[in-house]
Amino acid sequence: MSEKPLDGVTVIDCASLYAGPLTAMALGDFGAEVIKIEHPQGDALREFGAYEEPLSYLWVNRNKKSVPLDLHTIEGQQLFCELVADADVLVENFRPGRLESWDIGWERLSELNPELVMVRTTGFGQTGPYSDRPGFGTLVESMSGYAYSTGHADGPPTLPPVAMADTICSLHSVYATMMALYWRDTCDGTGQYIDTAILETMFGTLGDHVIEYGRKEIDHERSGNQSSRTAPRNTYQTKDGRWVAISGSSANIAERILRIVGGEELVDDPRFETMEDRLANADTLDGIIDDWMGRHTRKEVIEIFETNEAALGPVYNMADVFEDPHFDERDAIIVVEDDEYGAVPMRGVFPKFSETPGAVRHTGPRLGEHTLEILPERTSVTETELKQLADEGVTTVEGDR
């Protein structure tokens, strides 16, 4: 019996930065063998960020095997095709038409391997007037409608401080990959390619905005942390300078919040009787709550809200997250030992499986760490030929750089 749900699945990852590599990472977390095809000079994520250590690379490319190949070269293309011929999944994020220009696109690869599931991740998709544009998450977060509706009314459109669009896209690609494998393996299907656009997956998070504009021409402009659907809903600063967030999305929770900050008098106030009333008087209600918060420390606020079973969450910084026992018990943060960098904390593996849980076996590999392990075993090239190809810049063999 397999220990991991994807044991025996081989994934070729020739994507860079986040959206594609995160897709392959998730598959690797749950047992797939992931072969990372990167440029002989190294994936761009190895140099990402203002740090001496390749922190992003170490977690995004965990559980993968580094096999550098220069796909601009005939030799690199041939070895790539030989690897893909025996793979289950290929994840790539080149601009549409780039692989085809090297004659290693879908048509050739699917002929070599009719069972192949090819995940094509781009900013704007394989078709459409924007398909040739560079697909960075920042552009997509702007064009999807997300940034327009995020931020304060008197401030600029606001971008997330993380690779949000790429991460959301990767999750869509993972479940699409699993559906394609299921159809192939249980429904007498074939391989196929998956066209995942970062723009569309980010746009999909605004589902309510789409239908509301389509039906009512309501365009959700920036309103800070307030909501057009829920009041009270905001972040509030406590007496000790910390922050908490509350959401009174249900009538009973809203009533409990009102009782905490203003007693029965506030509960009975006609301005706040219904959700419609509270939304119409959201600023006034926020002022009352804000004043109450300012008279209590965060610890006091949390204790009072928990005692009264009213929904509230402290606004954590990363130090808070690292100290929180819930995150610890859930293994939301794990520490992985790296031969070069020692103990490396990173986000854990989730969701949790009762019988076949995922695991992190190692951090992102060193450049060319697995070239001699993978290529002579899975392709027609010999170790001697590999070292010659490394001298020519077609690949990289660890220790020969």
Assess whether 250 and 354 both reside in one domain: no
Residue 290 annotated in active site: no
Residue that the structure tokens 């509960």 belong to: 267
In this structure, what DSSP letter does residue 240 have? T
Mark which of 289, 314, 339 sits at the end of a domain. 314
Token pair, residue 360, equals 């992190």
Query: Which CATH number goes with the domain that contains 38?
Result: 3.40.50.10540
In a domain, 156, yes or no: yes
Do 202 and 210 meet the contact criterion of CB atoms below 8 Å apart?
A: no
Residue 400's pLDDT is 55
* Cβ-defined contacts of 99-108 (< 8 Å, 24+): 99/71, 102/71, 102/72, 102/77, 103/77, 104/71, 104/77, 104/80, 106/193, 108/81
Assess whether 24 and 61 both reside in one domain: yes
Assess whether 250 and 120 both reside in one domain: no
Instruction: Give the range of the structural domain holding residue 284, as residue numbers without chain letter.
Output: 243-314
Nearest C-alpha neighbor of 14 from the set 91, 78, 98: 91
Token pair, residue 218, equals 């309501």
In a domain, 226, yes or no: no
Mark which of 314, 341, 359 sits at the end of a domain. 314
- Report pLDDT digits (tens) over 173-230: 999 999 999 999 999 999 999 999 999 999 999 999 999 999 999 998 899 999 988 9
Which residues of the chain are under the pLDDT cut of 70? 399-401
Q: How many domains in the chain?
A: 2
In a domain, 214, yes or no: no
Of the candidates 86, 166, 391, 400, the residue annotated as catalytic is 166
Please count the other Cβ atoms lying within 10 Å of the Cβ belonging to residue 187.
8
Nearest C-alpha neighbor of 20 from the set 110, 130, 99: 99
Assess whether 146 and 62 both reside in one domain: yes
Residue 195's pLDDT is 98
In a domain, 223, yes or no: no
In a domain, 80, yes or no: yes
Assess whether 198 and 266 both reside in one domain: no
Mark which of 256, 282, 314 sits at the end of a domain. 314
pTM score, whole prediction:
0.94
Residue 401's pLDDT is 43
- The strands making up 312-314's β-sheet, listed across from edge to edge, are 233-237, 243-247, 312-314
In a domain, 227, yes or no: no
Residue 399's pLDDT is 62
- Report pLDDT digits (tens) over 290-319: 999 999 999 999 999 999 999 899 999 999
In a domain, 267, yes or no: yes
Assess whether 193 and 341 both reside in one domain: yes
